Chains A and B, each alone.
Chain A
Amino acid sequence: MSTHLDEKTLRDMSVLAALPYEPNQSMETLAALNEVLELVSALEAVEVDNVPPLAHPLERFQSLTPDQVTETVDSEALSQNAPNFEDGLYFVPRVIE
């Protein structure tokens, strides 16, 4: 698990995370990320082979509710925060030329 990120991995992660890859800041970013991974590398010392992962702190199933309509979405209210919204549509740059 002792892993150090390199520039290629940083570029790949930036694409996956939809964040800009900025070559002039890559060394600084890599140093910050590798510092976190160094901290995380402490986990290598723990024997976990027969330990199941813990997904919910109380190990309870999430509660279910009946599949019924209980409220309607106010699309007008939701659209108020959209940067570019007209006639019920969210506008984005042209996708198909």
Chain B
Amino acid sequence: MNLRSATIAELRAFLDRGDISAVELTDYYLDRIDRFDKSLNTYITRTADTARASAIAADKVIAQGKATSLTGIPIAEKDLFCIEGTRTTAGSKMLANFKAPYTATVSTKLANAGAITLGKTNMDEFAMGSSNENSYFGPVRNPWDLNRVPGGSSGGSAAAVAAGLCAASTGTDTGGSIRQPAALCGLTGLKPTYGRISRWGMIAFASSLDQAGPMTRSAEDAAIMLEHMAGYDPQDSTALAEPVPAYTSALNNDIKGLRIGVCQAFFDTDLDAEVAAKTREALRVLESLGAKLIDIALPHMAYSLGAYYVIAPAECSANLARFDGIRYGYRCENPEDLQDLYTRSRGEGFGQEVKKRILVGTFALSAGYYDAFYGRAQRVRRLIKQDFVEAFNQVDVIVGPTTPTPAFGIGAKAESGVDMYLQDIFTISASLAGVPAMSIPAGLVADLPIGLQLIGNYLDEATLLNLAHQFQQATDWHTLIAPEAP
């Protein structure tokens, strides 16, 4: 019984056979958190007491033979999901002492399925970042190399799974915040179709882009998590009223004849040569499994970054207006008057990147500039969506790299904001179009993991997971263990 490398599916078998109890499994992860998290900094808040109480309850359910696929499985939640009575910070000084008065739908669903929450994971402040260096609670270190970033914004969630400090985690993805850290930490990370998972109780960054998803050790685990996370929620008016398929049932479908789109534009940008070679190698594996590779074009992909950095800041400037130092969150000392209270509370409570994006968004939405910036970006967004609609008339899945490079050094890109933004150059277009996309491990470059991005048609997560699972049956990149957390 190797717990360090075990997937959710394997842990399920251990628990059901009685090889280990949920309490023992929870203690195993809590002990690893004690040992490794001083250097990794993946958790902002640990919830050991409630985790042990949940584990005791899970053992009773297992003994009764009523376990779901997640009963007794210890997971971590990105600190963007509200859990009642638990500190929920969004990685910000603004919410450093905020205790959520209610629980996010995703967290409720996972808890109802019997998952055990070990704690809340570190992240870039309000999910704005690609390295986890923007957290008020300090940077997260990559368990593959402690001098490198784990990616972001779900960097704590990614590093915690990669280091074996939980069996799986939740993340959120606005422009790549699940897929990019999954790639840099050697994980499977899935951003479902926009609206597939409820956003209720998930602190908002950019509401037309934000989507929750699982971060796991395998595609099978992602399917298990998604079955429990997805579904309509009357509390979120953008949650899709669509049935949730049994994703795990489709994992072993034959992929012979599956049409895979390959977009040359992914390879024509600043893509590291070794990452490109590994991506080509992965495409050959898929071809050897019977998939057909077809060249496609996404002519407006080059404009994704520009459109995103108007739309996301515009929405963030509106969403973050609620943090005023009055009803909740940080308040400055000795305000002179009401305006001073607002201004200084926000100035002292938000970090530099958040303030920068609020200012960009405020400008893009301001009188005289709205049409030229926000209106134009939303029109370009339609063209990007149409590219995907046309591509999916020809192919079933689009495959390419997740990131231009493997994990970079801590501090290496901190001086240049736009250089950091280029990390998401391959992931942003799927976010703008709202289509599902995932990253799976596709090899090592300089001993660091890299990701293969699979992009699917609307609501077709099942095909993505099927393809990812079949790739993982033919390769073992997803089974590698991060060396700094053996």
B is a partner of A: yes
B337 at the interface (CB under 8 A from A): yes
* Residue in A37, A81, A94 whose beta carbon sits within 8 Å of that of B327 in the complex: A81
In this complex, what residue of A is CB-closest to B350? Answer: A19
**Residue among B209, B317, B356 having the largest count of chain A Cβ atoms under 10 Å:** B356
A27 contacts which chain B residues (CB < 8 A)?
none
Is the CB of A36 closer than 8 A to any CB of chain B? Answer: yes
Q: Is the CB of B378 within 8 A of A33?
A: no
Evaluate contact between B379 and A33: CB separation under 8 angstroms. no
Q: Is the CB of B99 within 8 A of A81?
A: yes
With A29-B356, A39-B421 given, is the CB distance from A58 to B193 under 8 Å?
yes
Whether the pair A43, B347 counts as a contact (CB closer than 8 A) is no
Q: Closest approach, in angstroms, between the C-beta of B22 and any C-beta of chain A?
A: 30
CB pair A62–B237 under 8 Å, yes or no, is: yes
Contact indicator B237/A10 (Cβ below 8 Å):
no
- The docked-state distance in angstroms from the alpha carbon of A26 to that of B202 is 33
- Residue ID in chain A nearest B459 by CB atoms: A58
A20 x B343 contact (CB < 8 A) = yes
Contact of B382 (CB < 8 Å), options: A17, A54, A63, A81: A54
In the complex, which of the residues A17, A39, A93 contacts B362, with contact meaning CB atoms closer than 8 Å? A17
Interface residues of A in 16-57 (CB under 8 A from B): 16-20, 22, 29, 32-33, 35-43, 45-46, 48, 51-57
A83:B325 contact, CB within 8 angstroms: yes
Q: Number of B residues whose C-beta is below 8 Å from A?
A: 78
| Interface: A1 (CB within 8 A) | yes
Distance between Cα atoms of A37 and B190 in the complex (Å): 30
| Chain A contact residues: helix, strand, loop or mixed | loop
Q: Is the CB of A39 within 8 A of B383?
A: no
Q: Which residues of B contact A63 (CB under 8 A)?
A: 232, 234, 237-239, 241
Which residues of chain B come closer than 8 Å to A41, judged between CB atoms? Answer: 306
**Number of A residues, CB within 8 Å of B:** 55
Q: Could you say which residues of chain A place their CB within 8 Å of the CB of B435? A: 57
Q: Tell whether B224 is near chain A: CB-to-CB under 8 Å.
A: no
A binding-site residues for B, Cβ under 8 Å: 1, 3, 5, 9-10, 12-14, 16-20, 22, 29, 32-33, 35-43, 45-46, 48, 51-58, 60, 62-65, 74, 77-78, 80-84, 90, 92-95
Q: Which residues of B contact A (CB under 8 A)?
A: 97-99, 101, 193-195, 208-209, 232, 234, 237-241, 300, 302-303, 305-307, 309-310, 313, 317, 321, 324-331, 335-344, 346-347, 350, 355-356, 358-360, 362-363, 366, 369, 372-373, 375-383, 385, 416-418, 421, 432-435, 458
A-B contact pairs, 30 of them (CB 8 A): A5-B363, A17-B317, A17-B359, A20-B347, A33-B359, A35-B418, A36-B309, A36-B418, A37-B360, A39-B418, A43-B310, A46-B379, A52-B379, A53-B379, A54-B379, A54-B385, A55-B208, A56-B238, A57-B194, A57-B208, A57-B434, A58-B240, A63-B241, A77-B101, A81-B97, A83-B329, A83-B330, A84-B331, A93-B340, A93-B341
